[in-house]
C-alpha cells in the first residue's frame, strides 16, 4: 500500500505552488493578475534554490554534466549559468 505524502510546508516552493493553484478557477482579472504575480515570485525563489543547489553540488564534487542532467540542460548551459560564480567563490565555500 503506498504511503501518503506529507503536506508541504506553506513557505516551501511546493507549498507555495499548491497555494497558488489550489483555488481552482480564476474568476476575475484581479485574481488572474495576482496568480501571475505569485508565479513570478515563485519562479524567482526556485531560481535561487536551483542556484544554491548547483553550487552545493559542485562543492560536493558533481560535474557540470551531472548538474546539467539533473536540470534537463546541457553541461555547457549549466556551466554558463553558474560557472563564473562557482569559480569566483571556489567550490568549497558555498554558504546560504
Provide block-wise average pLDDT over 10 residues at a time, the chain (96 residues).
Answer: 68 74 71 84 90 92 95 94 71 46
- Closest residue by Cα to residue 81 from 14, 11, 72: 72
The pLDDT of residue 93 is: 46
- Alpha carbon distance 86, 2 (integer Å): 40
The pLDDT of residue 53 is: 93
The pLDDT of residue 22 is: 67
Amino acid at each position: 500500500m503506498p504511503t501518503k505524502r506529507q503536506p508541504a510546508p506553506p513557505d516551501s516552493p511546493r507549498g507555495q505552488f499548491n497555494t497558488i493553484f489550489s483555488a481552482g478557477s480564476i474568476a476575475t482579472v484581479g485574481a488572474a493578475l495576482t496568480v501571475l504575480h505569485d508565479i513570478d515570485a515563485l519562479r524567482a525563489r526556485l531560481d535561487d534554490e536551483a542556484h544554491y543547489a548547483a553550487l552545493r553540488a559542485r562543492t560536493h564534487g558533481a560535474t557540470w554534466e551531472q548538474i546539467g542532467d539533473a536540470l534537463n540542460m546541457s553541461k555547457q548551459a549549466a556551466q554558463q549559468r553558474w560557472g563564473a560564480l562557482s569559480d569566483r567563490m571556489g567550490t568549497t565555500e558555498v554558504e546560504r
